[in-house]
Chains A and B, each alone.
Chain A
């Protein structure tokens, strides 16, 4: 069989897996929606959750699409499409593919035409992400019990504990923003973008208070994310012109 990384065969098997995962999202959505109704939750708030989550997702989704395009030069479209729609993340997939190509004496600089090399890359990318899929069903219940024990013992501390966990994640990624500062002014660009986005978030809060505009609160995160991304363009241009 002549190998082609954009073959109809690959599109079909990848399409099946993506359809399966899409179905899972729909099933879980319906289940949670029904439970929300049973619990007597405010359905308007749940509808708002759907709206804000959808709007918030758009920009990151296009960034992920850009990752598919980047990998498609070497791997065709179906495999990167699968790997970035299901489980994958931008940083992981590119590294895993490059490492696998490297291990069999190839590289991602050009189109992979050898099916053996292609399947090696596919195996490495798939095996590399096994832990989450095995550990969530194995340990999920225990972790959840641990948290609910914590909360039943001391509910105030349980809440603080979870906030601490959030803060761990947020502080690690905010720290990451400073990782390029050592290269000079250009390395400060992410820091400036972070402050721009933070400022937009503060302005959203201010507008909410001054004009009693409750809607803005719901869309504050997507507004600040998109605004921060948009401002990164003039910020980058300005820094580049200063650096010369």
Chain B
């Protein structure tokens, strides 16, 4: 038990240094552009731009921390939140890996598997995008060919359709209610599509609520 604490504590320590350094570097990029090109933008321009995205994106950002940190574990979170593409890549990758390895999220074994999955996924993504940017003249015509467009447009349905089978078949009792509500919601208010991040915790609250009732009644 003591060992477990010390491993997680060391990840926290290391993670904080890495994540805050990443933040500093990320802000250093626009600063460097301004200095090098002597092009400081007017504050009003930045504020106006921020005003149109911050209300939604910061809200989603906060929600993502509360929903994904418990799933990804300590190391996975420090890495996943820096490398990004959480909902469309890192979280499904970590969930599937933990499921396959037969380990539970929240345990130290789950933590190890999730971190390895996210690190591998990040490295592969970085390499593919870097190679893609370098070899763009050869790759772009293929990637942008109209024949392949439906495949890239439908990556989320293809991903969550398969992932859904795995997790719904495991816990179908707590899956039905949030699924019905979410499908109904998107059918009735299609414009919610741009705010799907905000609906993740809504779905979670519904399924956890239903799970609590079933659990109390000894039905799970």
Contacts and interface: CB of A to CB of B under 8 A. Distances in A.
Majority secondary structure of chain A interface residues (helix, strand, loop or mixed) = helix
Contacts of B144: 66, 69
Interface string A208-240: 000000000110110011111110110110000
Contacts, number: 547
A19 B73 CA distance: 24
A108 interface: no
Interface string B17-52: 011111101111110111011111110011011111
Nearest to A87: B84
A168 B7 contact: no
A244 interface: no
B89 to A, nearest CB: 5
A28 B161 contact: no
A17 interface: yes
Interface residues of A, number: 151
B51 to A, nearest CB: 8
A54 B103 CA distance: 19
Contacts of B167: 163, 166-167, 170
Interface string A53-68: 1101111111111101
A44 B97 CA distance: 13
Contacts of A230: 151
Contacts of A130: 23, 58, 61
A99 B29 contact: no
Given A136-B69, A232-B153, A57 B89 contact: yes
A28 B208 CA distance: 31
A28 B79 contact: yes
A123 B30 contact: yes
Contacts of A165: 67, 70-71, 204, 207-208
Interface in B108-122: 108-109, 111-113, 115-122
Contacts of A18: 126, 130
A95 B98 CA distance: 32
Contacts of B133: 65, 68, 77, 81
Q: Which 3 A-B pairs have the closest CB atoms?
A: A168-B204, A175-B182, A228-B158
Given A85-B83, A167-B203, A193-B161, 19 more contacts: A13-B32, A13-B33, A17-B29, A22-B126, A53-B121, A54-B120, A54-B121, A56-B121, A57-B128, A66-B143, A119-B33, A120-B41, A144-B69, A159-B106, A165-B208, A167-B171, A168-B203, A230-B151, A232-B157
